[in-house]
Amino acid sequence: MKRLTLPLRDEDIKDLKAGESVLLTGTMITGRDAAHKRLFELAEKGEKLPVDIEGETIYYVGPAPAKPGYAVGPAGPTSSYRMDKYAPKLLDMGLKGMVGKGRRNDEVKAAIVRNNAVYFAAIGGAAALIAKSIKKTEPICYEDLGTESVRRYYVEDFPCVVAIDSKGNDVYS
């Protein structure tokens, strides 16, 4: 099991191999479909995004409300294909990593390779376990989206698998 510190650096990404288990520690941002659509639309207009995505890893999640003593409630990954139409643009703008579940399309894979990025798969059905690795959360933007707003998470030993490495190797293929 490899341990990585977020934000990711190019030298961290280049040696990752599809299928490798990793634990992530550091900060990541969150966002799902509606947040991605808004970010994408701003980017398409050439407007400044409300969050600096340069070097960031984004977790596709919409957690349940937090229980006492936890930063978030159960926080399992959402299906990544729903972000596929937005991901290439965000990767081209500097996004370095994505965390979700399931396959990605060919355009996303090409953007991962083109930008020396990585796609991690988190374990579906393990939302309560994943929530234990999320130690702190703070709002960034789009609060009107509720739990699907863009937030910053501080995570410790967040478990995932390299699903698509920077060379385009894909565990789903």
Phi, psi of 44 (to 5 degrees): -60, -30
Active site residues: 36
Going by C-alpha positions, the residue among 76, 73, 90, 77 that lies closest to residue 35 is 90
